[in-house]
Amino acid sequence: MASSFGAAQVLVASNRGPVSYEVRQDGSLHAKRGGGGLVSGLSAIGPDAGALWVCSALGDGDREAVRRGVGEDGVRMLDVPADVHADAYNGIANSVLWFVHHMLYQTPVEPVFDGEFRRQWASYEAYNRAFAEALAEEAAEGAVAIVQDYHLTLVPGMLRELRPDLRIGHFSHTPWAPVDYFRMLPDDIAEQVLRGMLGADRLGFLTRRWADAFTACCEALVGGLGGTEIGVHGLGADADFLRKRSHEADVDERMAALRAEIGEGRRTIVRVDRTELSKNIVRGLLAYRELLAGRPEWRERVVHVAFAYPSRQDLAVYRDYTAEVRRVAQEINAEFGTAGWTPVVLHVKDDFARSLAAYRLADVALVNPIRDGMNLVAKEVPVVSDEGCVLVLSREAGAYEELGEDAVVVNPYDVSGTAEALHEALSVGAGERAERSKRLAAAGTALPPARWFLEQLDALRS
């Protein structure tokens, strides 16, 4: 058997990988490297030390790269048939499991678990099996494999059967649903998800709250955790990277452009999100409208800078939500705007340098998700903001566990309460704002990505 083992000592598996490809007009392939916690975590080890990232080919460019045998050291892209991937990713992962964990269903009419769902579930199983088989093939004897997120809940159990010698971990980047919500899933499916994850030696969550919810689901539905260990690792922002990157020339340029859009001497309320149903962007805008309506003293003196970058646009609900965000922003500008003042500056084209520019200018950061695994924006803005910022933070974001004490905390459904919180945040004096922001930055960078990853690796190895 030993001869059939692979070479990788540390493996990561996730739907979205660290690199994506684009076919240029001349037919050449252009690689684009992504950011994020996992990328910096895994680069702390690197391919030379036997680290391998198994991920999915996500578009035509990625598929073409696989077909041409183009790739990066330390990354293996799986070219699962496009229809199977679409069912697994759009159908099950993003329309069912994401909705369950973020409690997004309009329950009088959704969800409907019918024959179409069963058909898509079979694709989800096939998709998970493709990952389990690739990991089994690539892993050296006794290697460690850490599987990421709700796309790949069945992989630990499948991999355990193929390769009992491995140390297997799984990490959830989302919240975990409370039992009463989770058991909306058909019983056999709920059980399959839990047992699939319990195939791991160790399961990681971003906060104690999500870990406890998972444990409660296991106790209620499959008789407990078995031998699986649970760990909490609150991923933090990467202070060194952010401080350096936010002072590069492209960020300075975008700051100048943003300043011109905002106008002289005005306060800024900044938010940066994927245009994601769980981020609560519309209620954030409604709260801002209520602030302008109820406290006219802020008119002309404040601008809401909202970056809402496109996400999951294959799904109609996401397209509709994006349209609603635009509509409400336009309404506010039509209602309150003047010749020299645009109350909402909304940008939807993804631009990391511009996000950092907005962070630097932020007086108030608005992070009001209806539910969020962690929310790194809440941790990043205090690190980057030039003058320090006041954080308005939803108690439903995982980050609340670490940052709640120094933030202005809101119930994300309470639009009037959020309007009041914005007023309170805008009214904090410069000295106190700087102090609070410093404490937020310290708490939010306590566990930088590389340490977050190595901590899990150590726990799995011991």
372 is a site residue for ligand G6P (CB under 6 A): no
d(CA 377, CA 215): 28
Site string for ligand G6P, 1-40 (x = CB under 6 A): ---------------x------------------------
85 binds ligand G6P (CB under 6 A): no
Cβ closest to ligand G6P, residue 279 vs residue 423: 279
Indicate the residue whose CB is closest to ligand G6P: 173
319 binds ligand G6P (CB under 6 A): no
CB of 21 to ligand G6P, least distance (A): 16
Q: Per-residue DSSP letters for 366-420?
A: EE--SSBS--SHHHHHHHH-SS--EEEEETTBTTHHHHGGGSEEE-TT-HHHHHH
User: How near is the Cβ of 37 to ligand G6P at its closest, in Å?
Assistant: 10
Near ligand G6P by CB under 6 A: residue from 101, 160, 173, 283: 173
The strands making up 8-13's β-sheet, listed across from edge to edge, are 75-78, 51-56, 8-13, 139-148, 167-171, 202-205, 229-232
Instruction: Work out whether 202 is an interface residue with ligand G6P (CB under 6 A).
Output: no
CB of 276 to ligand G6P, least distance (A): 8
Nearer of residues 43 and 311 to ligand G6P, judged by Cβ: 311
For residue 240, give the 3-state DSSP assignment. Answer: helix
Among 149, 273, 290, 363, binds ligand G6P (CB under 6 A): 149
Number of residues that bind ligand G6P (CB under 6 A): 6
Sole binder of ligand G6P in the list 76, 102, 160, 312 (CB under 6 A): 312
Is residue 101 within the footprint of ligand G6P (CB under 6 A)?
no
CB of 297 to ligand G6P, least distance (A): 38
311 contacts ligand G6P (rule: CB under 6 A): yes
The DSSP secondary structure of 119-178, one letter per residue, reads HHHHHHHHHHHHHHHHHHHHEEEEEEEEEESGGGTTHHHHHHHH-TTSEEEEE--S----
**Which residue number, 276 or 290, has a Cβ lying nearer to ligand G6P?**
276
Concatenating the DSSP letter of every residue in 58-122 gives: -SHHHHHHHHHT---TTEEEE---HHHHHIIIIIIIIIIIHHHHHT---TTT----SHHHHHHHH
| Contact of 421 with 392, CB cutoff 8 Å | yes
| Contacting residues toward ligand G6P, per CB under 6 A | 16, 149, 173-174, 311-312
